[in-house]
Chain A
Amino acid sequence: MSAPSDELKQARNKLLSLFSCGETAEDFQAHYTQIVDEYFRRSVQESETGQTLFRDKRPFALLALGGYGRGDLCVHSDLDVMILFNSKVPSSARTLAEDLFYPLWNMGLDLGHGIRSIQDCLSLGGEKFEFLTSLLDARFLCGDSPLYLDLMERLARKLLAKKALALRRWLEEQHQRRMAVFGDASHLLEPNLKEGIGGLRDYHHLLWLAKAFFHVRVPKDLEILGILSHKEYEDLETHLRFIHLVRNRLHQDSARRNDRLTFEHQEGIARALGFKDQDGLLAVEQFLSQVHASMASVKSLHRSFVFTQFPGSRKNGSGSERSAELCAPFHVDQGEICFPSAVAILSDPLLLLDIFAEAAKTGRPLALESKRLIREFLHLLDDSLRRSQRAARAFLSILNSPKACDVLDEMLETGFLCALIPEFEAVKDRVQFDHYHLFPVGRHLLQTLRHLKTLYRERDLLLTDIFLDLSEPEPLFLAALFHDIGKTGKDHARRGAHLARNILKRFSYDRKKTDHVHFLVLHHLLLAETATRRDLNDEKIVVQCAGMVGTVERLKMLYLLSWADGRATGPRAWNDWVANLVQELFFKILHILERGELATPDASRRVKQAMAEVRTLIGEKIPPAEADALFDGMPSNYLLETSPRSIARHITLHEQLWADVARGTAGAFRFEAAAEPSSGTWEVTFLAKDRAGLFSEVAGVLALNNINILSARIFTWRDGTAVDIFTVTPPVDPLHTEVIWERIQANLAETFQGRLVLADGLRQKAKPSLLSWKKTLTRLTEVMVDNDSSDFFTLIEVFTHDRIGLLYRITHTLFTLGIDIRIAKIAT
């Protein structure tokens, strides 16, 4: 017959490979425990030292401790065993230990062991609570069973009688420490299955307390002794089975004892457990949702157990009172809010909502029993109640209270939020499998609101200033709560905006404020996306944003929402670097909204209208997509200031120009002049591929031909087309205008091809004649440079007396200084 250790090795490997195939997955721990038990029983039987000890009347018992004692062995759990003697530990015990333990170490198993007398156990247990709790889980393996019974009896009678309270306090401390170190695993995206709050440890704590205080021996006693209800125990078993299953997979995946369910393992485990992508949800997202649900359930069971069985551990237990601050019909018990009776809820189901409003108003927590009743009666909430004025009022009062987040947390946890606003159900536990989001959607929404509510604590004073400046923060709060509610598929912002509108309609919420919420949800990514993906020095882009935002009030809310949303998402989505960019964009939009006419709602409407007209004018000539690209590249002020007919004409000229350029024509340009009979002036249109100095050359050629420029507007489209529009005096000889325009066109071509040197011709012209000398002195030339009026450009204003060639000289000077002219306005 093979050695016990060989058998163990074989059995363990077989079990592991069965587990990998998904068999024995559900009760892996039980199978594994059985195999190890078998090993110890056989080893003790076959150990010569063991037999000698019994013959010498030095009986001993072998006990399984800790997790092994509970029978909860996971793939890489460590094994805790102890050899127990009655009084003195004989020296040959060491040889026994070698017989039993060495083979396990050789196999690479993690083994903790001890050789102790009963008295050793009791004194060590009194000093170290870690040891005491592992003794509480002790299980007899083999040897002399009276020894084991004796230990357990004395443990209960002597040690626990004295130490139970201290043990409870220690467990409370441990719970707090775990919260600080591992966090609440029921909503972390990389939860620790064992130590996180909601993890297996919560169950262990519960079990230890039940063992120490209520003489529970095995978990099943929790139900038999009435500590948990049948349903609670059944749920607990189901959730523990799932968490253990995940833990076993995780151990196997990591090839070591690892309890933190990190991203790299999640997809594989989700697939191994049979989760499939469906309804737009990734397998891994559904998997994680279930992990969270199980852990949340363990967490809440542990909490309710501690609260119910050890009411003394509750804070602010101030006895029963019908406090004056509390509205009828609720009353306070031990500082917590209670329903008058279950019957009262049946006759007035909205009490379910009122009690939350009460909690928000007074800052008192709900009693455990109240929460139980809420869960019990959720089904009473029907559509007519959801539509009632009273529901809307109560909900808004909760939202606006300083305690809103704590209360909404409770509402989410009890399922009431989903009952009141069913749209939450689909996203509540939705996990997003990426590296940006730290929380599932439901939690993220509450977190976003929480950041807004605690904004005054931020170091960034601008946030507080903006917040205080809002005429009303309510739409912002609502938007924070709803912004990701459409996250059930693609285009979540649009979907969410639509849902938010429906919800608010149900509440008969103010129409104008509903529009704000709709806008905020729809565009909640606008600022962050634009700031990180677009050029903030491109005025057009900022103007487009400003156009979408429309008003300063909305901009302020959107900025705060972007900030809170980013913060609630996680450090990868929001950091100083991103914040900096978003703030820059905020100020640029603000300036445009406050100063400019470019982005007023009226301007946006006019631009839209103009584009529609241009589309009809150009008809089929240009495909719509191409036209859209052209519009997108046109500066905002160009679209605002130019008539649709001219724009359509420019588009035609633009096509011709670029056709020339494509053919390789050097110095290609388009030139047109048209009389404006109403004002007696001419409009000259000039298009060319933009380059430095172009404008000054055109101005120069006009001057050379004695054309006086009355005003000029120059634009650059994003594709590099310069569009210059001049209003000029009529040519001196009105009868031969055609000739003059042709000469100008020829001059332009010569200039661009380098055959005409403008400076020479103009110097000739600019010689002041004696007659005009006096007049030129009437105005001193004044030049002003303004860097503040625009976030994008420097403004140079030149006041001087008018003369032929002036525009050429100014623009030529700017050109030689390397300054690029983006917009020019000339008035005479």
Chain B
Amino acid sequence: MKKLEAIIKPFKLDDVKEGLSALGAKGLTVTEVKGFGRQRGHREVYRGAEYQVDFVSKIKIEVVMEDELVSDAVRLIQEKAKTGQIGDGKIFILPVENAIRIRTGETGKDAI
């Protein structure tokens, strides 16, 4: 089992979500997040006053899936979330030790 964490541009959420469901992801978690990447923050100047802009608004998608699905999912997110412009985001892949469905107590694959 792996967890994919993808940071993407907000307007790409629908595309990625639809793609992942079509691929067979059973569920996903979406969060509105703020942060920075290689660009860091930047300064905006308005009428001589400086405004520090530290973070950019992005969407974080988290989805847990079986190992076999991971490479397809990564390819899909990459394809759907790509604009070719700066700030397209990143995908992180993390190992997941176990999963438990709270209602039934099922574990592992069955709980995804």
Binding site for B on A (CB under 8 A): 461-462, 465-466, 469, 532-535, 537-538, 575-578, 580-581, 583-584, 587, 590, 792, 820
Contact = CB atoms under 8 A, between A and B. Distances in A.
Interface string B73-88: 0000000000111110
A462 B44 CA distance: 10
B51 A462 contact: yes
A578 B57 contact: yes
Nearest to A583: B53
Contacts of B3: none
B34 A576 contact: yes
A537 B56 contact: no
A820 to B, nearest CB: 8
A541 B85 CA distance: 13
B46 A462 contact: yes
A774 B10 CA distance: 56
A538 B57 contact: no
Given A533-B11, A537-B83, A581 B46 contact: no
Given A462-B49, A580-B55, 14 more contacts: A462-B51, A469-B47, A532-B11, A533-B11, A535-B83, A537-B9, A537-B85, A575-B32, A576-B34, A577-B34, A580-B56, A584-B53, A587-B44, A792-B85
5 contacts: A465-B49, A535-B11, A583-B53, A584-B53, A584-B57
Contact of B83 (A461, A465, A538): A538
B46 A535 contact: no
The 10 residue pairs across chains A and B that have the minimum distance between CB atoms: A537-B85, A577-B32, A580-B57, A581-B57, A577-B57, A533-B11, A587-B44, A535-B83, A462-B51, A537-B87
B87 to A, nearest CB: 5
Contacts of A532: 10-11
Interface string B41-76: 000101101010101110000000000000000000
Contacts of B34: 576-577, 580
Contacts of B55: 580
A46 B32 CA distance: 66
Contacts of A469: 47
Contacts of B51: 461-462
Contact of B46 (A465, A534, A538, A578): A465
Interface in B6-58: 9-11, 32-34, 44, 46-47, 49, 51, 53, 55-57
B56 A584 contact: yes
Contacts of A584: 53, 56-57
Interface of A, secondary structure class, is helix
B47 A465 contact: yes
Contacts of B47: 465, 469
A399 B46 CA distance: 28
Interface residues of B, number: 20
A696 B81 CA distance: 28
Given A537-B83, A537-B85, A466 B57 contact: no
A60 to B, nearest CB: 53
Contacts of B85: 535, 537-538, 792
Contacts of B86: 537
Contacts of A533: 10-11
Contacts of B49: 461-462, 465
Given A461-B49, A462-B51, A535 B44 contact: no
A792 B83 CA distance: 13
In the complex, which of the residues A461, A465, A532, A577 has the most CB atoms of chain B within 10 Å of its own CB atom? A577
A581 B53 CA distance: 11
A40 B41 CA distance: 74
A795 to B, nearest CB: 14
A583 B34 CA distance: 14
Nearest to B14: A533
A785 B53 CA distance: 22
Contacts of B53: 580, 583-584
B67 to A, nearest CB: 31
Contacts of A534: 11
A466 B46 contact: yes
A435 to B, nearest CB: 15
Contacts of B9: 535, 537
Contacts of A462: 46, 49, 51
Contact of A581 (B10, B44, B84): B10
Nearest to A576: B34
A723 to B, nearest CB: 17
Contacts of A583: 53
B98 to A, nearest CB: 32
A575 B87 CA distance: 21
Contacts of A577: 32-34, 57
Contacts of A587: 44, 46
A795 B42 CA distance: 17
In the complex, which of the residues B33, B34, B44, B49 has the most CB atoms of chain A within 10 Å of its own CB atom? B44
Nearest to A541: B11
Contacts of A580: 34, 53, 55-57
A534 B10 CA distance: 8
A615 to B, nearest CB: 28
A153 B89 CA distance: 78
A566 B55 CA distance: 20
Contacts of A537: 9, 83, 85-87
A469 B51 CA distance: 16
Nearest to A578: B57
A580 B53 CA distance: 9
Contacts of A576: 34
Contacts of B56: 580, 584
A576 B33 CA distance: 10
A64 to B, nearest CB: 45
A194 to B, nearest CB: 35
Contacts of B32: 575, 577
A750 B99 CA distance: 56
Nearest to A533: B11
Contacts of B87: 537
A524 B38 CA distance: 33
A575 B34 CA distance: 12
A467 to B, nearest CB: 12
A535 B10 CA distance: 8
A538 B47 CA distance: 25
A465 B83 CA distance: 34
Nearest to A788: B42
Nearest to A534: B11
A587 B49 CA distance: 13
Contacts of A590: 46
A95 B50 CA distance: 79
Nearest to B31: A577
Nearest to A582: B57
A461 B52 CA distance: 11
Nearest to B48: A465
A511 B55 CA distance: 41
In the complex, which of the residues A466, A584, A792 has the most CB atoms of chain B within 10 Å of its own CB atom? A584
A787 to B, nearest CB: 9
A820 B83 CA distance: 13
In the complex, which of the residues B49, B83, B84 has the most CB atoms of chain A within 10 Å of its own CB atom? B84
A796 to B, nearest CB: 15
A792 B87 CA distance: 11
A305 B33 CA distance: 51
A537 B9 CA distance: 10
A557 B102 CA distance: 50
Contacts of B33: 577
A385 B57 CA distance: 50
Nearest to A469: B47
A727 to B, nearest CB: 28
Contacts of A535: 9, 11, 83, 85
A577 B34 CA distance: 7
A813 to B, nearest CB: 21
A466 B34 CA distance: 24
Contacts of B84: 820
Nearest to B83: A535
Nearest to A537: B85
